[in-house]
Amino acid sequence: MSQKKEGMVIEELHIRLLDKAREAMTNAYVPYSQFRVGAALLHESGDIYVGCNIENAAYGPTNCAERTAMFSAIAQGAKPGSFPAIAVIGHTSDPIAPCGVCRQVLVELCSPETKVIMGNTTGDYHIMTVAELLPGAFTPASLQKEEQQ
């Protein structure tokens, strides 16, 4: 059964974000792994910021699709916490999930209720919230608690 949110069927929104992530995936710079990943980040205004993974021969400077989309949004003036959903897609047998580093960045830049739509190129997808992806996360509030001791 479809749920409606502000006139748009939620499942249609998920598919639209996955489609945008799939488009972004084609821009991935992956000369070493050949493993393309795309992401599409929804801003509360309706704007969509996309990202792809970008590899580097030194490996450490490699950036994931999710972080590319989030950093691009912030660089263009979006405020942390203003993202109701992000989709990530890869050519995997099961829906792809954000890595640990991306989960930590999601905790920092999104709300705990932000939907994370994890998909694959065969049309499967699974949805969790940021809070469900990283329970017990280290947050800016964790730093404040430390400072008060």
Dump strand ranges (E) for the chain: 4-5, 8-9, 37-42, 48-52, 85-90, 115-120, 125-129
132 has catalytic annotation? no
- How far apart are the C-alpha atoms of 149 and 138, rounded to whole Å? 17
Catalytic residue among 44, 66, 132, 146: 66
Question: Strands 4-5 and 37-42, how do they pair?
Answer: unpaired
Cβ neighbours of residue 111 under 8 Å, at least 6 residues apart? 81, 83, 130
The one-letter amino acid at 51: G
**Measured distance between the N- and C-terminal CA atoms of the chain, rounded to whole angstroms:** 49
Instruction: Give catalytic residue positions.
Output: 66
